[in-house]
Amino acid sequence: MGRPPCCDKIGVKKGPWTPEEDIILVSYIQEHGPGNWRSVPTNTGLLRCSKSCRLRWTNYLRPGIKRGNFTEQEEKMIIHLQALLGNRWAAIANYLPQRTDNDIKNYWNTHLKKKLKKGENENGVSSFQSVPKGQWERRLQTDIRMAKQALSEALSLEKRSFSTDSEDLKPSQGTSTYASSAENISRLLQNWMKTTPEPVTGGGGAGHRTESGETVTQGSFINGSSSDGALSDETTPPHQGFGSFFSFSNKSCHESVSVEQQNAGLMTPENSIVFQDENKPNLGDQVPLTLIDKWLLDVGLF
């Protein structure tokens, strides 16, 4: 017999999400809030499994997600937290509020694993293996200390960025990757509109590419770099019809925020009540004292 599948295999769509599906999902969550994923496919008409909806939201559409361009600080934190927590990506992601567990996992598997391995080969030994017990302990202590330091630095950075206006949320680097989901979809639509004359019936497929060769879906609209003129709001104002779609005038949010306002930086996850609950803990306001924090305190490293 075995466990029945989480959803009907028949009639369930798989593979990359289309812009239309993203819009439907975001619009539904704006109205009803995240959760009760089981009912999402039935209520929205999306031919997707509930898990797929949840995953799409948490890993991609949820506001406050930073994608790509891992900073050195983040890199350090991941390495040390991985050493401390193991492959508990969700736990690690709690310390990196703007990153998803999937993103961290991918980054670890594609970049950091190799990086560390390379380091091992250069040094001839692994960071933990082949080290005499006493040294291993010392090394662990050093690593914990470094993790603590990285953590503190990162947290102080968070504190600074959260306490100032939304402009400060953007990383200091030229390529800002911060985006709310509304922004994401807005950018997506701008590209989509350019390539699809009749958006609703046309159905821009997943992985659809623009003339510039940029993949419209799958993250690139989030990563829209500042150098990409085609993506800039000045050159391509948001479509009016979709502009109203993104106005936050429902019961959960008193103020109506237009796409223009959102793109001008006025619409941030922090002032979006709809999405606020879904944000990861705001480390800037109050650092949650988790087990690892306690442990770090216990060992006298904090």
Partner DNA sequence: AAATCGATCAACCGCCTCGTG
Partner DNA sequence: ACACGAGGCGGTTGATCGATT
Count the alpha carbons within 13 Å of 219 in the hemisphere toward its beta carbon: 9
Task: Tell me the Cα Rg of the chain.
Answer: 21
- Which lies closer to DNA via its Cβ, residue 181 or residue 217? 217
Q: Contacts with DNA in 100-119 (CB under 7 A)?
A: 101-103, 105-107, 109-111, 114
| Distant-in-sequence contacts of 193-201, Cβ < 8 A, 24+ apart | 193/239, 194/230, 194/236, 199/19, 199/20, 200/20
Residue 89 binds DNA, judged by CB under 7 A: yes
Residue 32 binds DNA, judged by CB under 7 A: no
1, 3, 72, 123: residue in contact with DNA (rule CB under 7 A):
3
Residue 268 binds DNA, judged by CB under 7 A: no
Of the listed pieces 29-37, 174-182, 227-235, 244-252, which binds DNA according to CB under 7 A? 29-37
C-alpha distances in Å from residue 167, one per residue of 45, 174, 265, 267, 293 = 37, 13, 7, 11, 30
Residue 67 binds DNA, judged by CB under 7 A: yes
Site string for DNA, 189-218 (x = CB under 7 A): -----------------xx-x---x-x-xx
Residue 36 binds DNA, judged by CB under 7 A: yes
Q: Which residue has the tokens 């939304």?
A: 166
Q: Distance between CA 23 and CA 245 in Å, rounded?
A: 9
Q: Among 153, 94, 150, which Cα is nearest to 281's?
A: 94
Q: Distance between CA 99 and CA 141 in Å, rounded?
A: 26
Of the listed pieces 7-15, 170-178, 229-237, 247-255, which binds DNA according to CB under 7 A? 7-15
Binding site for DNA (CB under 7 A): 3-6, 13-17, 35-38, 48-52, 54-56, 58-60, 67-68, 87-91, 101-103, 105-107, 109-111, 114, 206-207, 209, 213, 215, 217-219
